[in-house]
Amino acid sequence: MHFSIPDTQELNEGNGSTFIGYNIHINGLFHCTVRYKQLHNLNEQLKKEFGNEAIPPFPPKKLLPLTASQLEERRVLLEKYIQTNVYTMNNYHIPIRVSTFDGTGHVLTKVVKYMSLPVEYMQYFSLYLIKKDNSGDIIVLRKLLDFESPYISHKSMRDANKIVIRKSYWDTNYDFELMTDPVSLNLLYVQTVTEIEKGWIAANEEVKSQLATLQSSLAKREYIELARKLKYYGFIHFMPCYCDYPKPQSRVSIAIGGQELSMKFLGPGPGLEGCFKVTRMRCWRITATHNKEEVAANSRSVNSGLELSFEYLMQKDQLQWITITSDQAILMSVCLQSLVDELLMKKNGIKKKMSPVVKGNWSYMKRDGSSQLIYVDDKHEENKEDLSEPRSQESFSIKKLQEKFSSVSFKSGREFIENHAFEGIGDDDL
């Protein structure tokens, strides 16, 4: 369910005084009007039951009457308060209670427990930030990493609409293992139905009719088995962007999966498609376009500040750099890296492993400069204490964090990410 507070209204108490009512909508339809003190009372009860850290921040009380701008600010904050959710790809709401400092692994564990998904299958799923554009199309913003807080990441990204759970592997043979369990089967089914409906998975009218018949009879396994035969099954799709191949400023649609980067050329004429095998990418890099005016001078349509460039073996002894200009360049790079990692694991006979849940001691720096130590134990609970004195261990600094991110994300233009799967390229790849 989607909760919202689109507007407010001034109501009369009956004794001559007035109060502000907040109109709550569920799934776009009006549900009820409540007062601030009602929601505040609910918040106090939730804190008493589950503890302060398990409840999202609540807008504070004000001593004086609210101005128009303060009223609007409170409406927005109250709306955010009631929108802390995790969803499946078909918009099914999974209600879980998380604290501000719960890491991605902890949140995913709670989601898995709520759905009764066998813990050994948790490794095949991840949490993703998504948004919907004006046309209703789903855009995957990025995969949430183990060390970050989904709650903070969701709140800090204005574009992010929801956190969803979806499969996080490329080898579709893992499907067979997951389809033996009813819960993981349902997760695969829900995601597949959504991607068919959104057009991410290509299907002609005849196949769509067959899928509709299977869907109406709830033949989930048969539905997935048919969808697995279709083009772009198991791919992640990206927003339209620009590429310098086959000619500069070519508008393209990118999808990654099936051991390849697929490129569909948009524009007048027949829809041409091409694919770049990940095993033929010698390396790739991400560069930040700092001078956006220079980019705009080249094309009014190109306004992204990121570029993904990869060196591709076009034919034997002929390597060529291909550059994609897209705001999703980092996500593309992450997808390519995870695809390569999975290829190498399979080549070495290593089964997909579950990511370890983050635990230990972490420090959180407050706005006033003081630090807070967070203990994360095996039960995923957190206790905190103030640290007024500096610790003897190496301290955290923004500079060090920037240095770390610069080594994995943004490159100078001369550095690149080596593709170790390229070393095993054979005649079949040529």
Backbone region of residue 16 per phi and psi (left: phi > 0; alpha: psi in -120 to 50; beta: other values): left
More confident of the two residues 259 and 302:
259
Lowest mean pLDDT among 108-112, 145-149, 238-242: 145-149
User: Which single residue is written with the structure tokens 């591709």?
Assistant: 312
Give the lowest-confidence range in 62-66, 73-77, 121-125, 290-294. Answer: 290-294
Mean pLDDT of 13-35: 80
The CATH number fitting domain 236-353+411-429, selected from 2.60.40.10, 3.30.930.10, 3.40.50.300, 2.30.29.30: 2.30.29.30
Cα–Cα separations (whole angstroms), residue 143 to 18, 83, 114: 46, 20, 21
| pLDDT for position 424 | 62
Q: At what angle do helices 182-197 and 220-227 cross, to 10 degrees?
A: 50
Domain 3-81 fold = PX Domain (3.30.1520)
On average, the pLDDT of the chain sits at 78
Structure confidence at residue 269 (pLDDT) = 67
Residue 315 pLDDT greater than 80, yes or no: yes
**Of residues 274 and 427, which shows the higher confidence score?**
274
Q: 397-415, pLDDT tens digit by residue?
A: 444 544 544 444 444 444 6
Beta strand ranges found along 79-225 (DSSP E): 86-88, 93-94, 125-132, 138-143, 162-167
Q: With helix as H, strand as E and coil as C, how does 52-117 read?
A: HHHCCCCCCCCCCCCCHHHHHHHHHHHHHHCCCCEEECCCCEECCCCCCCCCHHHHHHHHHHHHCC
Rg (CA), the chain: 25
* Confidence band, pLDDT 50/70/90 cuts, at residue 13: confident
Fill in the amino acid letter for 356.
P
Q: What is the mean pLDDT of residues 200-209?
A: 94
Q: Which residue pairs from 106-113 have beta carbons closer than 8 angstroms and sit at least 24 positions apart in sequence?
A: 106/357, 106/358, 106/376, 106/380, 107/150, 107/151, 108/165, 109/357, 109/380, 110/380, 111/86, 111/165
Model confidence at 101: pLDDT above 60: yes
- So where are the chain's domains? 3-81, 89-227, 236-353+411-429, 360-406
Q: Which residue carries 């508008």 as its tokens? A: 251
pTM check: above 0.75: no
Mean pLDDT (whole number) for 253-275: 87
Tokens of 361: 């001691």
How many CA atoms lie less than 13 Å away from 10 in the CB half-sphere? 6
Kind plus residue range of the DSSP H or E element containing 374:
strand 371-376
Return the half-sphere exposure (C-beta side, CA atoms, 13 A cut-off) of residue 298: 15
More confident residue, 20 or 299: 20
Mean local confidence (pLDDT), 247-256? 93
Residue 46 pLDDT > 70:
yes
Cα 111 to Cα 126: distance, rounded to the nearest angstrom: 10
Q: Which of 330, 360, 362 is nearest to 100 (CA)?
A: 362
Rounded CA gap, 50 and 47, in Å? 5
pLDDT at position 427, please? 56
Q: Is 246 exposed, middle or buried (0-12, 13-18, 19+ CB in 10 A)?
A: exposed
Does residue 380 carry a pLDDT above 50?
A: no
Helices (H) and strands (E) in the chain, counts: 11, 20
- Mapped onto helix, strand or coil, the DSSP state of residue 242 is strand
CATH code for residues 89-227 = 3.10.20.90
SS3 396: coil
How much is the pLDDT for 289? 67
Residue with tokens 């501000």: 100
Mean pLDDT of 64-90: 80
Q: How many CA atoms lie within 13 A of 414 on its CB side?
A: 0
Asked whether the predicted pLDDT for residue 111 surpasses 70, the reply is yes
Q: Which residue has the higher pLDDT, 248 or 155?
A: 248
